[in-house]
Chains A and B, each alone.
Chain A
Amino acid sequence: MQNLLSLIIFLPISAVVLMGLFQVSLKVLRVISLATSVLVFLLVSYLGLNFDPLQSMQFVEVLPWIESYGINYFVGVDAISYILLFLVSLFIPMLFVFIWDEDRKGFFYNLLLLQTGVMGTLLSLDLILFYLFWEMMLLPIFIMIGAYGYGLRQANAMKIIMMTVLGSMTMLFSILYLGYLFFEDNGFWSFSLFGLSSMSFSSDISIILAAGFLLAFSIKIPLVGFHTWMAPAYSSAPTPALVILSAIMAKLGIYGLWRFGFTLFEGPLSYYAPLTITLSIVGILFYAIHAIMEKDLKRMFAFSSASHLSLITLGLFSINIYSWSGSLYLVATHAISSAGIFLLIGMIGKRIKSIKISDLGGIATVAPKFAFFFAFFALSIAGIPGTGGFVAELLIIMGAFKYSFWVGVFAATTMISAILFIFWMLQRTIYGKVSQKVADGFYELSRVELLLLLPLMLLLVLTGIFPSFFISFFEPTLGMMLFQIGDIS
């Protein structure tokens, strides 16, 4: 399979075009959307079986595109991108099942478009191509929030677009300037990641260029100070958009730092490390405390996500094999946990048309299975042992201690940060007296819902019990990257 990656990227968008052209009915739309995403999942799984963990970039495809400017269609996959690729290909079919009863066709089209955008972003190795996909995935999110969202959906959709586009602009500037520098050095253009990374340029310029990328990724993650788009967007987003936003798109900021930041700018990024680590430390606690008094579940877990992403960023900038392994592991396990928790929140919304904590209570009495899964996913976010999150946090903390004592101590605050709000939230939602709304409209998990949640739970437990099996998949890649940038620990 030579063009496996292209097939994976373009299958969803082709389905959109074809179905759009033929104006298919809702029934057909559902079936084909699900079938396409399942096919993509199978292709990604097939890719995983043929993946060699000891090699870095694989399944590379290069096609000339805009030759005069050296812009190529250049894609490839390594362990870091594969993990996210696998997760997104797993989540999308689950989301189609989740929105099966939805009668607004746009949901299906947008979700497929989003899949192409995300997968293209993950697999691009040409910076212009990357930028294109990076912007492309924003559009379906904008539409889903703006058109199908809740509350002040249009204003909130506008807010997320404005802030992320601001970051994208600075990144675009950096990309173009990098290409220009390459042209100055070599006499011809290139935007290939590996071409650009071989360049050496003065530290002043590289610090400014790195800032362009850093800003884009900081807004996406979001680091403290760049986060005010997040809670409104999350609270307005419908479940499918929400799952992808928190489980995948926030992690793409981290992914971008890894793939482009550390390949192009190892020097400048260690220059920014103290600042970024400080922001991360502030973020871990600021977001967690922020979450305590949040009144609705989506906003609460938006801040919860941001707190964990701050921890991941901290691990990333501690630059050693322990913190990197931990960060990448947390990228994966937190994606699974948050997909689970946001699906469950979506199910609550389906049942009682509210996700306000004050409307909930006593779910454990009415629907014990639901409560069990809800508690499990919430606790997995708090990093209880037996779930992958525990291992990941442990590794980040150990790596942070390798970096410096104080960073280690602050990384360890993650032990208490998440539990500040999660336990009180559980107390008010699943425990206690049965609330009026829950008594009226709440029902137990259906068989389909159970089937959606079980694989996620299984993945979390397996990653918690057999971490060495999973970590050996990506540890060589991280080791090679660290070797290249000169392990500074």
Chain B
Amino acid sequence: MSTLLLLVVFLPFLSALVLGLTYLFDTHKRVNEKFYTILGVAVPILVTILSFVIVLDLMSHSSTTVVTAVAFNWLSIDSFHIDLAFVADPLSAVMISFITFIGTLIHIYAAAYMSSDQGFGKFFSYFNLFLGSMLLLVLASNPIIMFIGWELVGLVSYLLIGFYNKEYENVTAANKAFIVNRVGDFGFIIGLGILFVAMGDNGFTFADIKENIYAIDNHTLTLVGIFLFIGAMGKSAQIPLYVWLPDAMAGPTPVSALIHAATMVTAGVYMVARFSFLYNEIPQVGEFIAIIGVSSALFAAIIASYQSDIKKILAYSTMSQLGYMFVAVGLGAYSAGIFHVFTHAFFKALLFMGAGAVIIALHHEQNIFKMGSLKKALPLVYITMFIATLAISGIPPFAGFFSKDAILNHAFMSEHYTIWVLGVITAFLTAFYMFRMLFIVFVADMKNNHIEHKALSKALTYPLIVLAIGATFAGFLGANEAYGGSDLFKSFISLNDINYSISHSTEYMLGFVNVLVSLLGVTLAYKYFRTSPQEPLPNKRVRTLIINKFYVDELYDRLFVQNLRSLSNFFNKTVDEKLIDGFINNVVHLNLYVASKFTSLQNGKIQHYSIYLLSGVSMMSLLLIYILEVR
């Protein structure tokens, strides 16, 4: 099993290297797309199979069994001993199974989506590199290797957002993503630094930290918890570090589906769940995380309700769903949080891929108000996206219902009623803006719709069907007794959850509320957007505010970008040229000035010289007397 685990991580890196070198040195474009497709898709398939073998192996043993593999010693200084080592426990096993599975589907989809693109080989090299980095992040046995994966996924995300780099704006979006992520990582590494000092000579693997967590005082743990979470804010696009995610949609749609919806952005949630033993010690930080989560969820949902770009809507919806996940892990419902990561991966990847299919069919049109009545032209896309929309809106029995229900119930049972209410409001908005999008794109009769549709290839549509099956049935894995399931997911993943007992009647009551608000959202969307919707105009103050995303981008630009640039100029013009060089020049001028005064002394007149001589001698005599007196 160990060898398989090593292969899972290293194969994607290896193929990325081969693909990348081939692309870079194939100057005359002699290598055709087939080569890239075969290698680029075969490796994810292989890795998926290997992952499933590992997961099945874990399932056949008791819950405490883990598969470990050590590649080599990465760093060893004094007591700081870091191995490049991997651990597949139930948590990471769940993660790798859906990352590889959905990753493979998106690779297949991308082969069609990107076909005849100039940078086809480059794309697959990056895509495989991403897969490897993500698996490195998830499987790492210690936070340092995890951090390497964490940084690498950020780098690949940068490269892929700026994939069409001839457009200046795309590169701006890529830069923004990387820089904002690095701000988060700045927090993350501070957390690691504090933890490193606190751990002393006790090792630095997750297992070591878990064992020694009781020896560290609560104040230190609080700091560690907060700073690590700042890293998660960046990676998982939570307030205030979310600004990069909507812009990240500049990348090709498969990238949005894989990196900015299903996998990378959930790394923050995974990290908190991985450190569950730490966050359980500091519930006050957990509450902070939950508050950030629910605020992000609501905030993003409000913005999403007024967007016109199909990918931007989905981006804000991702941010919103990530907020739910943080509510869960913040309040100690780690398995519910990871379960939402799991179900979300299916329906959100599906939504993005469906949106990509629409965009391709309409020759790169992304404004939903220029689409409309695509139901007949793209029936398969419509049906699968309809399923995904039902799932994200929390309509039973689709996948999202069970995971969202588990999160909201936990918030209610742990007596965080404000968070629960905000969560329910977000659920209402989610149903509203998702069905708004669905109706406008597929159902509504738009007058300006004269676009010729492009036929879609099977590689684009078949993955949608597979994901739609997942979005329909994945929820049953986590259905609890009240809904006739047996909490399979929770018992397999066996995280350190904080549990509350809940009666079936309360369970039904809360579930009923969730379904009710969702249906309300659907109804409202139906009422306003079923027939001939209008693009929202910024003609009212509040609406203008929301359409412009509360001017947060402008605020950040003014606050950070502009100020840093002025500061840079100030350093150059004022500090360097005036202050330091000015000082040096003044010293030089002073020298010259003093020298010019002294030169007048040497005028060659004997009588002047004798006066200097006399005064010099008398001064020295005085000095001598003074010194002797003092002695």
Contact = CB atoms under 8 A, between A and B. Distances in A.
A365 B76 contact: no
Interface in A208-240: 225, 227-228, 231
Contacts of A379: 155
B168 A419 contact: no
Q: Looking at A384, A385, A409, which has the most chain B CB atoms within 10 Å of its CB?
A: A385
Contact of A385 (B77, B148, B196, B569): B148
Nearest to A230: B576
B155 A385 contact: yes
Contact-residue size bin, chain B (C-beta under 8 Å from the other chain): 35 or more
B24 A368 contact: yes
Interface string A446-468: 00000000000000000000111
B568 A290 contact: yes
B108 interface: no
A325 B197 contact: no
A321 interface: yes
Contact of B194 (A228, A369, A401, A466): A401
Contacts of A430: 165
Interface string A409-448: 1001101100110011011001111000000000010000
B537 to A, nearest CB: 33
A22 interface: no
B193 A390 contact: no
A364 interface: yes
A427 B175 contact: yes
A12 B178 CA distance: 45
B165 A398 contact: no
A398 B196 contact: yes
B145 to A, nearest CB: 10
Contacts of B569: 293
A369 B28 CA distance: 13
B510 interface: no
B196 A362 contact: no
A401 to B, nearest CB: 4
B77 A471 contact: yes
Contact of B193 (A325, A412, A471): A412
Contacts of B215: none
A390 B166 CA distance: 29
Interface stretch (B181-189, B430-438, B455-463): B181-189
A131 interface: no
B423 interface: no
B535 interface: no
Contact of B568 (A293, A364, A391): A293
Contacts of A321: 77-78
A321 B575 CA distance: 35
A344 to B, nearest CB: 16
Interface string B62-97: 000000000011111110100000000000000000
B564 A362 contact: no
A292 B565 contact: yes
A397 interface: yes
Contacts of A293: 565, 568-569, 572
Given A286-B571, A390-B148, A412-B190, A431 B182 contact: no
A415 B194 contact: no
B185 A431 contact: no
A432 B75 contact: no
B166 A433 contact: yes
A439 to B, nearest CB: 13
Contacts of B174: 423
B564 A432 contact: no
A73 to B, nearest CB: 36
B77 A475 contact: yes
A431 B171 contact: yes
A173 interface: no
A228 B193 contact: no
A372 interface: yes
Given A322-B77, A325-B77, A419-B182, A427 B171 contact: yes
A415 B568 contact: no
Nearest to A467: B75
Contacts of B148: 385-386, 390
Contact of B179 (A365, A402, A416, A479): A416
A228 B168 contact: no
B162 interface: yes
B6 interface: no
Q: Looking at B80, B168, B194, B572, which has the most chain A CB atoms within 10 Å of its CB?
A: B572
A479 B76 CA distance: 13
Q: Looking at A286, A289, A405, A471, which has the most chain B CB atoms within 10 Å of its CB?
A: A289
Contact of B197 (A289, A402, A426, A471): A402
B165 A322 contact: no
A362 to B, nearest CB: 7
Contacts of A420: 179, 564
A291 interface: yes
B614 interface: no
B193 A401 contact: yes
A55 interface: no
A472 interface: yes
A286 B25 CA distance: 40
Contacts of A415: 182, 185-186, 189
A231 B581 CA distance: 12
Nearest to B129: A386
Interface in B153-178: 155, 158, 162, 165-168, 171-172, 174-175, 178
A433 B75 contact: no
Contacts of A413: 186
A427 B172 contact: yes
A408 interface: yes
A137 interface: no
Contacts of B74: 466-468
A395 interface: yes
B178 A423 contact: yes
A145 interface: no
Given A384-B155, A432-B171, A433-B168, A468 B78 contact: no
Contacts of B175: 423-424, 427
Interface in A371-392: 372, 379, 384-386, 390-391
Contacts of A289: 564, 567-568, 571
Contacts of B580: 225, 227-228
A468 B162 contact: no
A294 B568 CA distance: 8
A309 interface: no
Contacts of B167: 432
Contacts of A424: 175
Nearest to A162: B584
B45 interface: no
B434 to A, nearest CB: 34
A394 interface: yes
Nearest to A404: B197
Given A228-B576, A286-B571, A385-B151, A412 B189 contact: yes
B186 A416 contact: yes
Contact of A390 (B151, B162, B165): B151
Give the top 4 A-B pairs by smallest Cβ distance, nearest first: A401-B193, A293-B568, A292-B568, A431-B165
Given A405-B194, A427-B171, 19 more contacts: A228-B584, A289-B564, A289-B568, A290-B572, A293-B568, A294-B572, A395-B77, A398-B196, A408-B197, A419-B182, A427-B168, A427-B172, A431-B162, A432-B166, A444-B27, A466-B74, A467-B74, A468-B76, A471-B77
27 contacts: A227-B580, A286-B575, A290-B572, A292-B565, A293-B572, A294-B568, A321-B78, A369-B24, A385-B151, A385-B152, A385-B155, A400-B193, A402-B196, A412-B186, A413-B186, A415-B182, A415-B189, A416-B182, A419-B178, A424-B175, A431-B165, A433-B166, A466-B72, A468-B74, A468-B76, A471-B76, A475-B77
Interface of B: 24-25, 27, 72-78, 80, 144, 147-148, 151-152, 155, 158, 162, 165-168, 171-172, 174-175, 178-179, 182-183, 185-186, 189-190, 192-194, 196-197, 564-565, 567-569, 571-572, 575-576, 580-581, 584
